[in-house]
Amino acid sequence: MGQVIVVTSGKGGVGKTTTTANLGTALAQLGNKVVLLDADIGLRNLDVVMGLENRIVYDLVDVVEGNARLKQALIKDKRMENLYLLAAAQTREKKDVTPEQMKDLTEQLAREFDFVILDCPAGIEDGFKNAIAGAQKAIIVSNPEVSSVRDADRVIGLWDAQAESKSPAMLIVNRVRPKMVARGDMLEIDDMLEMLAVDLLGIVPEDDHIIVSTNRGEPAVYHKESKAGKAYHNIARRLMGEQVPIMDLNADDGIWAKFKRIVGLSRS
């Protein structure tokens, strides 16, 4: 059985869809069979970020309602052989699907795939309840910013309140700007962890590549020079059970720093 992981945050705009797309792609690059499931019915985005919008024939609601078989609705990624997407319905509503149906669906998918990753909608209503119903693991995405942390705390509380068979939530701190943290203008990651009291899965820096890659429908993990892409790669390896140290965001990547590294003046 594969792992069913929900990517959630409570607050909108913190990077759930970006995280889902990049983690899914990175896991597929590492040789896993992965399916991404867009649970944001009515406001689907994941297909756009993956660049697969024009290939959607059947969606999640079609499968749940029996209009299409699961195999028919799964869209194969255009770059990775072992990566699939099940799109959300755009013309339907969140309450057209029940948590039980989602549980059945994810169970079915987990039999065939190593990783089933659900992109949860913002909020804590029906869409959220559907998305977490079938998941055993939760990735909480939060920005280093007070309102986002507050919502993350709320969502962790709701996640913990479920059945005990679910494993504790893991945190990804997204859109970190190291210079602002160093200046004290952003929340310290240690302070976030102290309050949220969850395991840190990864830190993803703010990265212009994300905007470009989102608009092109090509996840940042394909770009070697993208720091965010590298961070997502590390997170994917951690999900597979590897011990990967948290990336040092303050590391200087300029030519001078590289030169210093070569001649042994700098430790990193």
What residue ranges bind other proteins (CB under 8 A)? 150-151, 153-154, 156-158, 160, 195, 197
CA–CA separation, 268 vs 264, rounded Å? 9
Q: Between 13 and 157, whose beta carbon lies closer to other proteins?
A: 157
In whole angstroms, the minimum distance from the beta carbon of 170 to other proteins comes to 16
Contact 153, 187 (CB under 8 A): no
- Name the residue type at position 138: A
User: 217 burial class (0-12, 13-18, 19+ CB within 10 angstroms)?
Assistant: middle
Distant-in-sequence, close-in-space partners of 31: CB < 8 Å, separation ≥ 6? 82
Q: Could you tell me the smallest distance in angstroms from the CB atom of residue 153 to other proteins?
A: 4
Query: Min. distance of Cβ 156 from other proteins in angstroms?
Result: 6
Secondary element (H or E) of residue 267: none
102/198 with CB nearer other proteins: 198
Are 22 and 101 in contact by the 8 Å Cβ rule? The answer is no
Q: Which is nearer to other proteins, 190 or 253 (CB)?
A: 190
Rounded least distance, CB 194 to other proteins, Å: 8
Which amino acid, 60? L
Q: Nearest approach, Cβ of 154 to other proteins (angstroms)?
A: 4
State the Cα–Cα distance between residues 97 and 155, nearest whole angstrom: 21
Q: How far is the CB of 41 from other proteins (least distance, A)?
A: 24
Min CB(163)–other proteins separation in Å:
15
Nearer to other proteins, 151 or 218 (CB): 151
Burial 167-177 (b: 16+ CB within 10 A, else e): eebbbbbbbbb
Exposed e or buried b per residue across 30-55, where buried means at least 16 C-beta atoms within 10 angstroms of its C-beta: bebbbbbbbbbbeebbbbbbbbbbee
Query: Between residues 81 and 194, which has the closer beta carbon with respect to other proteins?
Result: 194
| 36 touches 28 (CB < 8 A) | no
Name the residue nearer to other proteins (CB basis): 12 or 157: 157
Q: Select 10 or 229, whichever has its Cβ closest to other proteins.
A: 10
DSSP assignment of 83-146: EEEEPPPSSS-GGGS-HHHHHHHHHHHHHH-SEEEEEPPSSSSHHHHHHHHT-SEEEEEE-SSH
**Residue 246: CB minimum distance to other proteins, A:** 24
Nearer residue to other proteins within complex by CB, 124 or 247: 124
